[in-house]
Structure 1
Amino acid sequence: MTDLSSLPDLPVRAVLPSVLSALDDHGTAVLVAPPGTGKTTLVPLALNRGEGRVVVAEPRRLAARAAAGRMAALLGEPVGETVGYAVRGDRKVSSRTRIEVVTSGLLVRRVQHDPELAGVSTVLLDECHERHLDADLLLALLLDVRAGLRDDLRLLATSATVAAGRLAELLGDAPVITAQARTYPVELSYRAPARGERPEATVASAVRKALSEGDGDVLAFLPGAGEIARTSALLSSLDADVLPLHGRLSAARQDEALRPRDRRRVVLATAVAESSLTVPGVRAVVDSGLARAPRVDHRRGLAGLATVRVSAAVAEQRAGRAGREAPGRAYRCWPEHEQATLPAYPEPEIRTAELARFALELACWSTPDGTGLAWWDPPGEGALAAARSLLVTLGATTADGAVTPRGQKMADLGLHPRLARALLDGAEAVGARAAAEVVALLDSGATLTDVEAELRRLRSAHDDAARRWQREAKRLAALVNSPSKGSPDAALVVALAHPERLARRRAGSAPVYLMAGGTAAELPHGSGLGDAEWLAVAEATRDPGRVHGTIRLAATADEALATRAAPTLVSEVDEVHWDGDVVARHVRRLGAIVLSEKPLHKPDPQLVHDAVVAGLRAEGLGLLRWSQDGTRLRERLAFLHRVLGEPWPSMTDETLLSDVDTWLDLSRVRRRAELANVDAGTALRGLLPWPEAARLDELAPDRLEVPSGSHYRVDYRGDQPVLAVKLQETFGWTATPSLADGRAPVVLHLLSPAGRPAAVTADLESFWRTGYPAVRADLRGRYPKHPWPEDPATAKPTRHTTRRSRS
């Protein structure tokens, strides 16, 4: 039990009694406390009241280790005594441990194995505002546990932002306690990058400015380890210690970045330093405005991390790091006007991430679709459906979503289901060590494109990345412990993880490959993979605007390996499709990849018919023969459908193509030339409704008789029927003609003797009275041989000149 008066005088200490009281009275609570208030370290110590263990869930391994180390230091003990931690591959606890800091993902696994959380009195969910996928899932599971098994389990959720209303609601209208941070003013400035300037260069320039304009250390935020390395190289000449801080570093190097020094420091950090960690001595913050976020292109099956703009809330948290100990400065590396366009809060990972591991945990919880759980934001239906389909393919669940014994074993490994499958099946095929090495590489990333070359490099290297890979490979091998079988085959293990990324080179000179999932991707120059016909692709990305993806990591494979690794993707089918003509063949495929094919001489007639229809729908009704009469019939029927509706049929392409068999006989058609012989007009007559069809010429006549005795065609192409006629032929015509039982007046285009438009009217009576005088005055001087009577309503209509009319 911790004496509250012995805790450091940090802002959160003032609200600790309120937090404890809320948990005692309500069982749940929300603590809103900005970064630097002490919530991550002082609150767990205050919760340790001898009633059971306190478990603290952190979103990141680095934050979990750092929090445990800080709390142990406050107690004057080593880590592993009163305070311990557990992260993947590393655990320091003992029988005396009362406070354990774990990652959210690890606690999900514990809850799955022990839903009652025996011996645990309180769970603290830290940094809920970051909306990590594991944290959202953990919250849902713990709420389910509390509702059904442990109503005495106390839950405390902390957030660095004030938008905690929904969180409090989920926790049963929990009390919200707010701790006010003691901060100093932070002067903001904006440094827009020059045109074409990379983020690393902008950040490096801002770091130099920050060092020149004030004292203290500088904390710079960059999206990932690659940008940190490049920025560090740009700052190599600084008279200061430049230290990286990200999750891929060893524990020793992470601790080194967090320790104060005699010399000034420039700490180049990813999002790990936004809220979960405190970096002492910082007086200036440089913010690139970028972060890594999980994104997945579901259509192409390319998942991974994308570089995105930070939210306004994150930018505020980052800037606040400069004002924890004294007045500070924050340099934002974007134009000031863009600040207003930032999203308010980070996008929850549950909306954007690939959900296979998440779906497996739901299956283990016996709720494959997540129904019955209380969600901050529910998972997207499309993403969850894709994840559940993948689990069936991997043998982790049955078709109805129930977890299989194999799936339970995969979940226990704590890996993504793809990697778990690769480790389990790979160990059986090539041995535990060989499989574990490849899986560790797939889970950590690589610097080379060739998997085999990267493995050779890691086995002999002694840098932090290589040592971390070696430790992880050893840990994974111990989980399966299968003897070595045959020769190590990295490509097989890669293919077991990503069977839909098995790829075959397309014909042609460019190194473009078609993956089994249907995505095309190309090898970058200098990949080292040569002219391999087959690849097992481990990682591929697709940049916006690019036609093809880019292969980032792959191993040379062959067809035998591909079919061995992905037997469920192999199919043999008769394929009949339209490619200008009907093409029929028997095809053996691996997903989208054609392995072999041969012509089909007697294809199924229904498949042929479907192919022809597909061709019509793809290329349009222009494939048919449209005579003038056929086109006119279609226009007249379209007019009647538009004006009178049913039973007159619609004549749009969409309607005609949607039910083509009702009017076209395609039973003997296989080629484009045969389609061109089909008389569309004759076929359309099969759609005429009876007995209404008997009135077609009455309702929508092909031609209309005018007062002169001539007959002219009606133009039905526009919204209204149009009749073009010379003005002199309409003398004496006072009633405007109409069609479709008087529902559609005809628009008359009255022409000059030369056949040029003189007037347009749908009201002849009004035209003779108000429009004709102006037309007469304008044209009779130009056409003196034609009649221009003063009273056209009573004049004799004529097709001829004045002389012929008199005769």
Structure 2
Amino acid sequence: MTEPAGSPALPDLPVRAVLPDLLAALDEHGTAVLVAPPGTGKTTLVPLALERGDGRVVVAEPRRLAARAAASRMAALLGEPVGETVGYSVRGDRKVSPRTRIEVVTSGLLVRRVQRDPELAGVSTVLLDECHERHLDADLLLALLLDVRAGLRDDLRLLATSATVAAGRLAELLGDAPVVTAQARTYPVVLSYRAPARGQRVEAAVASAVRLALSEGDGDVLAFLPGAGEISRTSALLSSLDADVLPLHGRLSATRQDEALRPRARRRVVLATAVAESSLTVPGVRAVVDSGLARVPRVDHRRGLAGLATVRVSAAVAEQRAGRAGREAPGRAYRCWPEHEQATLPGYPEPEIRTAELARFALELACWSTPDGSGLAWWDPPGEGALAAARTLLATLGATTSDGTVTPRGRRMADLGLHPRLARALLDGAAAVGARAAAEVVALLDAGTTLTDVEAELRRLRSAHDDPARRWQRDARRLAALVDAPPNTGPADPALIVALAHPERLARKRSGSAPVYLMAGGTAAELPGGSGIGDAEWLAVAEATRDPGRAHGTIRLAATADEALAVRAAPALLSEVDEVHWDGEVVARHVRRLGAIVLGERPLRNPDPALVHDAVLHGLRAEGTALLRWSQDATRLRERMAFLHRALGAPWPAVDDETLLSDVDSWLDLSRVRRRADLAALDAGAALRGLLPWPEATRLDELAPDRLEVPSGSRHRVDYHGEQPVLAVKLQEMFGWTQTPALAGGRVPVLLHLLSPAGRPAAVTADLESFWRNGYAAVRADLRGRYPKHPWPADPATATATRHTTRRAR
């Protein structure tokens, strides 16, 4: 690597030792993988070495903060301002010049650049940094660049870097690329585990660990928290420290991000999100406090709720975070979880392509003319269900045709660099209320907010002068300049813009005191207390989350709306249909709906018979055959038929509820049924007789007789209710019978319940001969004293059966 004349000597970082091998591998294969832990110089020294005057070197970083920091560091090494030899381009900010030879960009921005110019004219090398983080844009960019190299630019050099050693699959994707490894020059890090107390919030646990870290050693402290909210609350808990407490996350302005990275005279406590895990170096750090949590994209496709979820970090991420304490000297790492939980952490982070909402991803695939992603080489392919949901949304927004082909409108939406929902809201909203008004709301939705009320947040941002307000104002101006519409063309109603982005989240308050709303998509969500929105009947919901253990979602951001606005914003969700359904009764009505929300209804006097039939079927299947009239004879017929089906099988049919309800029309005439009372009037027994097989039905009384005649001459009813037929009869009536009666053509013996003279069970047997021989004597000895008026012969097998007392029998 040639160092520019007059520039300071470049630092002797571990990557310098492997640069010759890396450059040789790239020259020979055109692709390579560099495995190097954070702090080894892979993000700063390698791009400088790759620039050899044969084309621009483009470095793709997963985050804007990392892109700006990398460009600033490389420019400082060259003794130049950013924008000369080294520049950067991120959304809303660009510093490059005609002299720029190394450009650091975000992965998402480079995806857009490849879409516009697949040949990447003037670019010799693309460095994909921090591939191990598995961000969605980075995985997509890798697939597109591999496609470009295979079909258009076989001379394009691709270098992928990773902070972990799990680079085998990455090398395979790059055509069995050589893997070059740089060993980190690290110092020992002492690990300690500090599990939070029962009920202790993560902010309090981290704040306590930070105080301990400051007291046990020197140097700065880097603490990892899942998000900006936790950082703010932890900062408040540390306000009394004799140290500078500095936040570091993606929502901050560039100035405040730079402040967190710059060493100070006083000790620093840097409270950071995942941005500081691997793609940034925070100098001066001697101690790391790890909350063990990260915020990642998740989507509930069934409920249509997407957002961020707080999850445990992986073992690889925990290792990277701890390693930050040992970059410059021996360090200490404090982990805010029990030591025994370390072994239960997942090995590596879950790739976003498996968990995130894929609408923007799917739009890029459509622009690449491969809507389903086939033909591209994936590290992990997108999930079929998530991709299908995303493609359906794109068609609804007009970004693609029904077969997935991108439309001119879809390409315009992609060029805006926004999520397709927000792009639709900006384009259509600008035409309705003006570019500036639409852009203000879209910029708010894109940035996120801690307030629930969209209108209140807009008022605050318009008058505030803090970093979030200035960033929002800058983004709003940028977005307004992207659309071809007058500044103002109508009343600025924020709810309309929100509804254009999320039409299925238009919501109407349910009846009752609780502020629960039904969204057009069918999901119920609750408005939290103190939201500031009040008791609005209609809301345009921008963000709602599904919290574990809660019956409803929670509305996080919304604007007050009304029915007229809902109809205007979501005409595709409007429907007017005749609905006939079962709700304990046949309910027939004409309904006007907005998705799942009922706007109005009226009773139907003459509903479609086919719809009524379907509703009755649903009622029967929901509540069972008990809706029909079952006389005692009908019930017994069903039990006898069920017995013969169990004993003999075909052609005797099954008559259990599941079977009968699976094909109701085969045995039950529902043509005249209009309501529940009509079902109750149907004679189930008569209908059931239609299922009797012929000619076998002529033997029903022979195979499964209703009654059996016993030796006394009595005819007793057989109970077919259980698995085996039962005959309950007084013991004296069975004298003289030695063989147990059998049914179903002699296949199934009857289970005899032999009763005392008082009708109480005395014995149960399915082998009468054995009972007379072995069991009768004990029963006789027990009962003859209690019932002396009844016969108790010594030999029942030869005695005369009787249903009378001894005296009456004489």
2:392, 2:800 → 1: CA distance? 77
d(CA) in 2 for partners of 1:164 and 1:769? 83
Alignment of 1:612 with 2:607, yes or no, is: no
* Deviation string, structure 1 residues 561-583 (Cα, Å, up to 9, x no partner): 11111111111111122222222
1:521 corresponding residue in structure 2: 525
CA contact (8 A) 2:736 2:801 kept: no
Q: Which residue pairs with 1:407 in the alignment?
A: 410
In the superposition, relative to structure 1, how do residues 672 and 30 fare at CA in structure 2: closer, same or farther (>3 Å)? Answer: same
Moved more, 361-370 or 32-41: 32-41
Distance in 1 separating the partners of 2:12 and 2:780: 100
Confirm or deny: 8 A CA contact 1:786 1:800 kept in the other structure: no
Give the AA of the match of 1:512: V
Alignment CA distance shift 1:283-1:610 (3 Å)? same
Residue of structure 2 aligned with 1:573, choices 571, 577, 585: 577
Q: 1:789 to 1:344 in 2, by over 3 A?
A: farther
Which amino acid in 1 is paired with 2:159?
L
TM-aligned CA deviation for residue 782 of structure 1: 5.7
Partner residue of 2:546 out of 542, 545, 549: 542
Q: Which moved more, 1:88-97 or 1:562-571?
A: 88-97
Any gaps of 5 or more consecutive residues in structure 1? none
Query: Residue in 2 aligned with 1:654?
Result: 658
Report the equivalent of 1:281: 284
Matches within 5 A, 1:712-727: 712-727=716-731
**Structure 2 counterpart of 1:213, which letter?**
E
- 1:248 matched to which residue of 2? 251
| From 115, 120, 139, the counterpart of 2:118 | 115
Q: Deviation at 1:769?
A: 5.8
Gap change, CA 1:777 and 1:598, over 3 Å in 2:
same
Root mean square deviation, CA, Å: 2.6
What is aligned with 1:75? 78
Q: Is the 8 A contact 1:2 1:48 kept in 2?
A: no
After superposition, the Cα gap between the structure-2 partners of 1:778 and 1:289, relative to the gap in structure 1 and judged at 3 Å, is farther
Task: Name the residue aligned to 2:634.
Answer: 630
Amino acid at match of 2:551: V
Residues 132 and 753 (structure 1 numbering): CA distance in 2 closer, same or farther, change over 3 Å? farther
Cα distance between partner residues in 2 of 1:125 and 1:644:
72
Q: Deviations over 1:573-631 (max 9, x none)?
A: 11122222222222211111222222221111111111121222222222222222222
Compared with structure 1, are the counterparts of its residues 345 and 575 closer, same or farther at alpha carbon in structure 2 (3 Å cutoff)? same
Q: Work out which of the residue numbers 70, 83, 103 in structure 2 matches 1:100.
A: 103
Stretch of structure 1 that moved more, 127-136 or 211-220: 127-136
CA gap of 1:371–1:712, structure 2 versus 1, over 3 A, is farther
The secondary structure found in structure 2 opposite 1:9 is: coil
1:781 Cα deviation (Å)?
6.0
Which of 539, 552, 559 is the aligned partner of 2:556? 552
> Which runs of 4 or more aligned residues in structure 1 lie more than 6 Å from their structure 2 counterparts after TM superposition?
none
Of residues 46-55 and 322-331 in structure 1, the stretch that sits farther from structure 2 once superposed is 46-55
Q: Contact 2:791–2:806 (CA<8 Å) still a contact in 1?
A: no
The worse-fitting range, judged by mean Cα deviation, of 195-204 and 530-539 is: 530-539
Aligned partners of 2:730 and 2:803 also within 8 Å: no
Residue matched to 2:428: 425
- Counterpart CA distance in 2 for 1:411 and 1:339 is 42
Q: Is the 1:587–1:594 contact (alpha carbons within 8 Å) kept by the matching residues of 2?
A: yes
Distance 1:64 1:786, change over 3 A: farther
- Given the alignment, which residue of 129, 137, 140 partners 2:143? 140
Within a 5 Å distance, the mapping from 1:486-497 to structure 2 comes to 486-497=490-501
Query: What's the TM-score, normalizing by structure 1?
Result: 0.94
Higher mean alpha-carbon deviation, 640-649 vs 358-367, is at: 640-649
Equivalent-residue separation in structure 1 for 2:729 and 2:344 (angstroms): 60
Cα gap change, 1:295 to 1:652, in 2 (>3 Å): farther
Question: SS of the counterpart of 2:577?
Answer: strand
Deviation readout 1:214-260 (Å, 9 max, x if unpaired): 11111111111011000000000001110000000011111111111
Distance 2:320 2:749 in 1: 69
Q: Which residue of 1 aligns with 2:379?
A: 376
Using the TM superposition, give the Cα deviation of residue 85 of structure 1 relative to its aligned residue in structure 2, in angstroms: 1.5
Instruction: Tell me the distance in 2 between the aligned counterparts of 1:720 and 1:336.
Output: 60
Residue 682 of structure 1: how far off its partner (Å)? 1.9
Which one of 655, 679, 683 corresponds to residue 679 of structure 1? 683
For the structure 1 residues 136 and 774, does the alpha-carbon distance in structure 2 shift closer, same or farther, using more than 3 Å as the test?
farther
Distance apart, 1:407 and its partner CA: 0.7
Q: Are 1:84 and 1:97, in contact at CA under 8 Å, matched by a contact in 2?
A: yes
Equivalent residues of 2:712, 2:803 under 8 A apart = no
Report whether the alignment pairs 1:392 with 2:420.
no
Q: In the alignment, which residue of structure 2 is the partner of 1:295? A: 298
The answer for the alignment partner of 1:498 in structure 2 is 502
User: Out of 48, 52, 55, which is 2:51 matched to?
Assistant: 48
The alpha-carbon distance between structure 1 residues 191 and 742, as it changes in their structure 2 partners (threshold 3 A), is: farther
SS in 2 for 1:676: helix
2:483 aligned with 1:480: yes
**Is contact 1:322-1:330 (8 Å) kept?**
yes
My pick for the range that moved more, 112-121 or 213-222, is 112-121
Aligned CA distance change for structure 1 residues 800 and 317 (closer, same or farther; 3 Å): same
The one-character-per-residue Cα deviations of 1:733-776 (angstroms, maximum 9, x if unpaired) are: 55554444455454444555554455555555665666666656
Residues in 1 aligned to 2:35 and 2:562: alpha-carbon distance in whole angstroms: 56
1:722-801 matches, within 5 Å, as 722-730=726-734, 735-763=739-767, 794-796=797-799, 798=801, 800=803
Instruction: Give the residue type in structure 2 aligned to 1:381.
Output: E
Cα deviations by residue, 1:300-343 (Å, 9 ceiling, x for unpaired): 21111111122222222212222222222221212222223222
Secondary structure of the residue that 1:116 maps to in structure 2?
Answer: coil
Specify the SS of the correspondent of 2:127.
strand
What SS is found at the alignment partner of 2:681? coil
| Structure 2 letter corresponding to 1:597 | E
* Aligned-partner Cα distance in 1 for 2:482–2:713: 98
Cα distance in 2 for partners of 1:319, 1:103 equals 26
What secondary structure is seen at the aligned counterpart in 1 of 2:380? Answer: coil
Alpha-carbon deviation of 1:711?
4.1
Q: What is the one-letter code of the residue matched to 1:441?
A: L
Rounded Cα–Cα distance in structure 2 between residues aligned with 1:647 and 1:151:
72
Classify 1:252/1:642 alpha carbon distance in 2 versus 1 (closer, same or farther; 3 Å).
Answer: farther
Shift of 1:554: 1.6
Q: Structure 1 residues 708, 352: closer, same or farther in 2, change over 3 A?
A: farther
- Please report the TM-score for the alignment, with normalisation by the length of structure 2: 0.94
Secondary structure of the equivalent of 1:39?
coil
State the Cα deviation string for residues 186-233 of structure 1 (Å, max 9, x = none): 222222222222111111111111111111111111111011000000
Tell me if the contact between 2:533 and 2:559 (Cα under 8 Å) persists in the aligned partners.
yes
Query: Which region of structure 1 is more displaced relative to structure 2, 775-784 or 587-596?
Result: 775-784
Match of 1:162 in 2: 165
Distance 1:42 1:425 in 2: 46
Q: Which amino acid counterpart does residue 233 of structure 1 have in structure 2?
A: A
TM-aligned CA deviation for residue 706 of structure 1 = 4.5
8 Å CA contact 1:785–1:801 kept in 2: the answer is: no
In structure 2, relative to structure 1, the CA distance for the partners of 1:742 and 1:364 (3 Å cut) is farther
| Shift, 1:410, TM fit | 0.4
Counterpart position of 1:200: 203
Structure 1 residues 337 and 782: CA distance shift in structure 2, 3 A: farther
* Residues 265 and 774 of structure 1, relative CA distance in 2, 3 Å threshold: farther
3-state SS of paired residue (1:286): strand
Aligned residues: 806
Percent identical pairs in the alignment equals 87
Secondary structure of the equivalent of 1:571? strand
Q: 1:767 to 1:491 in 2, by over 3 A?
A: same
